A and B are shown apart, each in its own frame.
Chain A
Amino acid sequence: MIYDVTHRTVYDYVESAAFSQHLLRLTPRDTNGQRVLSSRISLDPRPDEIVLERDMFGNLAHAATVSRPHGRFEIVAISRVERQSPSAFIFEASSPWEDVRAIATGAAAGPVPDDVAPFAFPTALTTANEEIEDWARDCFAPGRPVLAAAAALSARIHAEFDYVPGATAADTLPAESFAARRGVCQDFAHVMLAALRARRLPARYVSGYLRTIPPAGQPRLAGADASHAWVAVWDPALDWVEFDPTNNMIPGEDHITLAWGRDYSDVSPVSGIVVGAGAQSLHVGVDVMPAGG
């Protein structure tokens, strides 16, 4: 399946901003099931300077600087991405979660997977509290294969949490969204990561898009045409396997990956600073269209 993704962001400032700097993680990356055919970002006003950096997780980020007065800033990222159906995994064939923890934390014999280890530890946005740990305990019976445990966690989040836009913010901690049992995809991903990392199991925060096909008479999948976030869990043999706790599904043809990191703050698609802008307002629009469709 080939998609054209358009992600448009507009900042409007009340006063004329003297200077702004932006970090844009809007370029999709190649993955096992995804090939980026083309990607471009256009900015208005044109930045005085743009630097492309690749971070330690392999994501591409553009650092853009505008040093002339401007009252608005528009970012349009257009990408064409080819997405394959994922191969099916047999979760029960994955390693017992205790073994995975031992490998990721360097407690097992043999070389430590140094590219996996950064994802095994709680970050500020993915630190569990006692309540989250107790709640997740059922999913981690001794010896249970790590991916089976992850699938169970994803199902529980989907079953027990309400999807409520606006109930949480970009920096809401998992303890808060957990206590309320509600939030959006980012919160669900953070809660799932918190539960996994409380056991030092390597898991990634994946940022991307979700295309929705609203069949007649059926509700649209939450997250239609918007930025989306889900989780990937590591197994030594199967490598990274993705889970979407918001929709309780295995991400497939309709999930397009932008970037991954330890939590939202590693991969927020658009962030930055501005000088002298006064109050700001933000408008975001995302379209995921099958190519030629």
Chain B
Amino acid sequence: MMAEGARAAGASGDAGLRPPAPPYKAAADRHDEAVDATGRVRTHWERLAGWLAEAGPPVIDAIASELGRLRDESGIAFTARTVAAPGAVDPLPVVLSASDWATLERGLAQRARLAEAVIADLYGPRCTIREGLLPPGVVFGSDAFAAHAAGWEKPPERFTLVFEADVARGADGRWMILADRLDAPLGDGWLIANRIATSQAIAEPFIDCGARRIASHFARFQDLLDSLTGWEGRLALLTGGERDPRYFSHAYLARYLNATLVEPADLTVRDGAAFVKTLDGLKKVDVLLRGVPDRRIDALHRPRSAAPGAPALTVAARAGGLVMGNAIGTAAMAYRALAPYAHRLCERLLGEPLEIPDAPCLWLGDPAARAQVLEELPFWRIEPLTGGASPDAAPLLPEDPSAMTGAERDRLAVALERVGERFAAVATPPLATTPAWCANGLEPREWMMRVFASWAGESWSVAPGGVAATVEPGCPPPALGFGKDVWVLPDPGSAAKDEAASLLAARLAGGHLRRTGRELLSRVADEVFWLGRNAERAESVLRILNVCLQRYLSGNRIDADPAALTTLLSVHAREDDRAPAPARLRETLVRLIGDPDEPEGLAPTLAHLRSGAARARLSISEESWRYIDRLCADPRWRGRLDFRASGEIARLIEDALRSLAAFAGSAQENLTRNFAWRFLEMGRRIERGSQIARIVGRIAGRERENEESFLRALLTYSDSAAAYRARYMMVPTPAAVMDLLILDETNPRSLGFQLAQLEQVLSMLPSETPYRRPEHRRALALLTEVRLTEADAVAATDANGARPALGALMSRCRSELAEVSDTLARAYFAHAEAPVALMSQGRLGETP
């Protein structure tokens, strides 16, 4: 940084004594945040500039990589994937002076008031349409207008509780609005996470600058939410789920605001109110922060575009039983719908001049605008008016407008005439620059930022800060993510202090702690249950593979007999009798490990395991997730399986088993014994029990040649060889092995142990009656049956060498465990099932 004004330690003001500073040169004819037209560092940048000069490039580079690491960490902590963009991180914040911020803050609060006024009018009296302030096509020309939210006897008290905008400064330094984010904004999670990461990585100048804290803004929002929910009420945040690109922000914000994070299928509407489905039944939601776009909500009123789930939310909102932030219908004014007519709307509805103008924007429902835009291509970008993806946008968006042929232009003209109302022509003029840390040091770059506001009861509160990004000239606002932090300096004349305490800590100290976890969402119980089952299923496949590979490598004539090994593998692999034994063994091994189409193969099993763990991510511990992720993402799975290197494969399988053991241990040690743990445990026990029953039935169901070798394989599969040796010190006999693997409840790998454990966990589930629940009775009956069985009886063979008692008991165990699983699902997860649309009717002459 050009060090004029920079106060380096020990510098006496003499230019010659200043430490070497990263040089910085901004264009003279364009506003730059850090330096003025003469190249002097602006007063509010002096401290940061001084620190940069002192730190020098190596320290800045180190901070950049530290910041990248912090971002990765917070991304991984909340979602299953990395959310930070790869590549070099620019750690430099944008610093704004108190007066710059005051202008912006006033303008944003006005913008939010304007949006609320326009939306309330559109869904109510429609003066703006009647008086010609807003052309009807802006509103009714696209499906963003929610007809089912219009004309209510008692409209919502407010349509907007949150408001975000993309803003930038022009080359002259004046603010402009690039986009209004009114439909499901809730990007605040990024603001908080970004601030936390930046203030940790670059702590010294952050504290030194005295940048305003954002916590007090969220405290105001929290106060409002508390007043809306009431003392006993519930706040929920609706997200599209793990696949939603905004999921990170939703999960982060939900935790910050102590809101229940729900997906559409978690919600149901009864008696004019909305409820979340929990294990403990339906729980009323009083305030719903909406992170799912308008169009995707309420399958009852929007059957064409809504996602399954959350039907009839409009009924609850209309009955007054549910406050939504933002209400259904706000999409109608989202993105650029307000922009072309903001000036006159502001003057008419608020009686004040518009404080911050919009970046150039023309509504293409206007024939004159269409003509102008066609004339001035490629200056303009053509975008859906209310944002989002629009299916009919594709033909309107030329890759490179400057290279359009005459025929393409004509087609564009025709298309615009047909659906012009749904589009806006927008342009990003030259913007102000800010210092960016690049490969070559400090460089001036155009920048824009997302800013965040929320209703605070009587006025709008704007978070002092934002998420900024440096951009290429002329480009649209980027998708929200981590970015440059924005530091707003306090007004030196004002004594007002932002409260520094972090909201998260304050909330944890408050009275909101719940211990039972009884309110586990039905969907989450379902996910955790299947995570348990999938982990066991993966383990069973890995164990069979492990037994076979170890034997294959041992070279022992009997143990490594290809036919015997193929029999073992056939427990999980589809049988293929065509090939001769040795080739068939290799083929089966390869198929079981790598073939995605092998139903019980390792590839689909691990894929299920990982996606299930990702979904249940917030219910299991961080460490547990990492074990699963490490196991499933191991690059060695993707390599070619070469049996000349079967030792490598055996090592890979062993590593995988170790990761699964670590996952199991971590889940045991780190999960509180609440409902999530219980469902995970039941999933594990049911799956392990049925796998044992299946394998024992399959392998020991009849007497075999080399029986001893097969019995040893069973002991190795169930990790019970050492226990057997310790107990019997002799070659395996059927009755002793059956006792250890089926009946012995002290052996954690035995069937009896699984049943006893399952029964115990089932006895801890809530029951409305004094009697045991059906699935509990079933498990108890099965456990009792196994307890009353004798080892000699199951080991007994008939005249054909079969073990009928064993076969019958094992297949009963399997079918009963499957029943327990289904009954559990019906009792606890049925809520979580997604609704489907009813067939439509009313078509003339098509009475079925």
Contact = CB atoms under 8 A, between A and B. Distances in A.
A172 to B, nearest CB: 10
9 contacts: A18-B830, A21-B269, A51-B315, A55-B150, A56-B151, A185-B845, A275-B833, A275-B834, A282-B838
B136 A271 contact: no
Interface in A183-198: 184-186, 198
Nearest to B830: A18
Given A53-B315, A122-B419, A273 B841 contact: no
Given A18-B830, A51-B315, A222-B844, A274 B132 contact: no
A111 B151 contact: no
Interface in B807-848: 830, 833-848
A56 B312 contact: no
Nearest to A283: B848
B633 interface: no
A18 B833 contact: yes
A271 B147 contact: no
B514 interface: no
A120 interface: yes
Given A114-B129, A121-B140, A121-B421, A274 B838 contact: yes
B766 to A, nearest CB: 19
Contacts of A239: none
Contacts of A159: none
B605 interface: no
A157 interface: no
- DSSP class of B's interface residues: helix, strand, loop or mixed? loop
Interface residues of B, number: 56
A243 to B, nearest CB: 15
Interface in B416-453: 418-419, 421
Contacts of A184: 843-846
A223 interface: yes
Interface of A: 9, 11, 18-23, 48-49, 51, 53-57, 63, 65, 67, 104-107, 111-114, 117-118, 120-124, 127-128, 130, 133, 163, 165-166, 170-171, 184-186, 198, 200, 207, 210, 222-223, 226-229, 246, 261-262, 265-266, 268-277, 280-286
Interface centre among A55, A118, A121, A273 (most CB of B within 10 A): A273
A166 B846 contact: yes
B143 interface: yes
Nearest to A20: B838
Given A55-B147, A63-B315, A165 B846 contact: yes
Given A67-B270, A112-B131, A130-B418, 16 more contacts: A21-B300, A21-B312, A53-B318, A56-B147, A63-B312, A104-B136, A112-B130, A118-B136, A121-B421, A123-B143, A127-B392, A165-B843, A207-B842, A227-B842, A272-B300, A273-B308
A80 B317 CA distance: 33
B319 interface: yes
Contact of B836 (A114, A274, A281): A274
A222 B269 CA distance: 40
A200 B136 CA distance: 11
A118 B846 contact: no
A213 to B, nearest CB: 17
B304 interface: yes
Interface in B317-369: 318-319, 365
Interface in B136-155: 136-137, 140-141, 143, 145, 147-148, 150-151, 153
A198 B415 CA distance: 11
A117 B365 CA distance: 14
Interface in B93-150: 126, 129-132, 135-137, 140-141, 143, 145, 147-148, 150
B205 interface: no
A261 B150 CA distance: 13
Contact of A227 (B130, B271, B303, B841): B841
Contact of A273 (B141, B145, B300, B392): B300
A221 B574 CA distance: 61
Given A262-B147, A270-B841, A270-B842, A23 B848 contact: no
Given A118-B136, A121-B137, A223-B844, A112 B148 contact: no
Contacts of B304: 124, 171, 265
B691 to A, nearest CB: 29
Contacts of B843: 165, 170, 184-186, 227
A112 B138 CA distance: 13
B272 interface: yes
Given A120-B136, A184-B846, A277-B836, A282 B414 contact: no
Given A49-B271, A272-B300, A9 B147 contact: no
Given A56-B150, A67-B270, A282 B143 contact: no
Contacts of A262: 147
Given A48-B270, A123-B143, A273 B136 contact: no
Nearest to B367: A107
Contact of A284 (B140, B365, B847): B847
